[in-house]
């Protein structure tokens, strides 16, 4: 199993890499030998990792809520990619009847449309490498799991991400491309604490990072199209 988790020689694109689950995932991927292409608005905690792994991280500062800015950024990506981990997320809690249209569309752009943009742009690279896609969702994006009031826009976007994964798995099968969703319960991140300051999280970011490493690595092959719920 340890050999299958080895990512030496592989280049992985990771979004939302500067903090929380993304930063913990970056640490795990680097320890496994990967080279990282990181997309996030700021470098955040990546600065320390860049000092530790100076040759293994390339960071692009990009706001995923800006579709045009993201398209320009994607033109600078390396020609080889062995995997994509779409971890970036946006969450602004509000009752649906009080959610501004701009906030609703921002949820969709950051949580779903940006994933579509990245994967569409990199599809030929994934075909060349028979790569893996991991979409980081939430239990909010899994049908028949109890939902929270004030999380309507977030839930809609994560449900869409789940559907996107299932179609990617179907369309990528003939090319050896795998796509899976990791859908955790509550995770101790800045985003959760900001939205629900009194909530006690079920998981630490590294708990989810270890799952992501498994699903982007050869250890999880040949599974594709799975919605992996991480819950207590």
Confidence of residue 84 (pLDDT cuts 50, 70, 90): very high
Q: pLDDT of 111-136, one tens digit each?
A: 999 999 999 999 999 999 999 999 99
* Count of all residues that appear for the chain in the document: 232
Mind listing the domains of the chain with CATH numbers?
A: 11-230 (3.40.50.720)
Cite the beta strand spans of the chain per DSSP E.
11-15, 35-40, 57-61, 83-86, 132-136, 178-184, 227-230
What are residue 26's phi and psi, to 5 degrees?
Answer: -55, -45
The pLDDT of residue 119: 98
pLDDT at 85: 98
The pLDDT tens digits for 17-61 are 999 999 999 999 999 999 999 999 998 899 999 999 999 999 999
Token pair belonging to 16: 């939302």
DSSP annotation of 175 reads: G
Cβ atoms of 219 and 1 within 8 Å: the answer is yes
Q: Give this prediction's pTM.
A: 0.95
pLDDT of 198 reads: 82
Contacts of 12 (CB under 8 A, 6+ apart): 29, 34, 35, 36, 37, 81, 82, 83, 84, 85, 216
- Please give the order of strands across the beta sheet that includes 57-61: 57-61, 35-40, 11-15, 83-86, 132-136, 178-184, 227-230
Q: 43: which strand partners?
A: none
- Nearest Cα neighbor of 88 from 68, 116, 57 is 116
């Amino acid at each position: 199993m340890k050999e299958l988790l080895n990512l030496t020689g592989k280049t992985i694109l990771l979004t939302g890499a500067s903090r929380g689950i993304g930063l913990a995932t970056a640490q795990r991927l680097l320890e496994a030998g990967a080279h990282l292409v990181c997309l996030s608005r700021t470098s955040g905690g990546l600065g320390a990792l860049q000092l530790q792994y100076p040759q293994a991280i390339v960071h692009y500062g990009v706001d995923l809520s800006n579709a045009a800015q993201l398209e320009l950024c994607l033109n600078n990506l390396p020609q080889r990619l062995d995997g994509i981990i779409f971890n970036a997320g946006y969450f602004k809690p509000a009752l649906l009847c009080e959610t501004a249209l701009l906030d609703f569309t921002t949820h969709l752009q950051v949580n779903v449309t940006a994933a579509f943009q990245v994967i569409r742009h990199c599809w030929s690279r994934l075909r060349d490498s028979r790569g893996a896609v991991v979409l980081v969702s939430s239990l909010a994006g899994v049908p028949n799991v109890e939902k929270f009031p004030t999380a309507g826009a977030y839930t809609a976007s994560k449900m869409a991400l789940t559907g996107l994964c299932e179609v990617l798995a179907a369309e990528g099968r003939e090319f050896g491309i795998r796509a899976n969703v990791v859908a955790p319960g509550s995770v101790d991140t800045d985003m959760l604490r900001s939205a629900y300051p009194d909530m006690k999280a079920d998981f630490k970011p590294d708990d989810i990072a270890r799952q992501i490493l498994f699903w982007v690595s050869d250890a999880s092959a040949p599974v594709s199209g799975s919605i992996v719920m991480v819950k207590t």
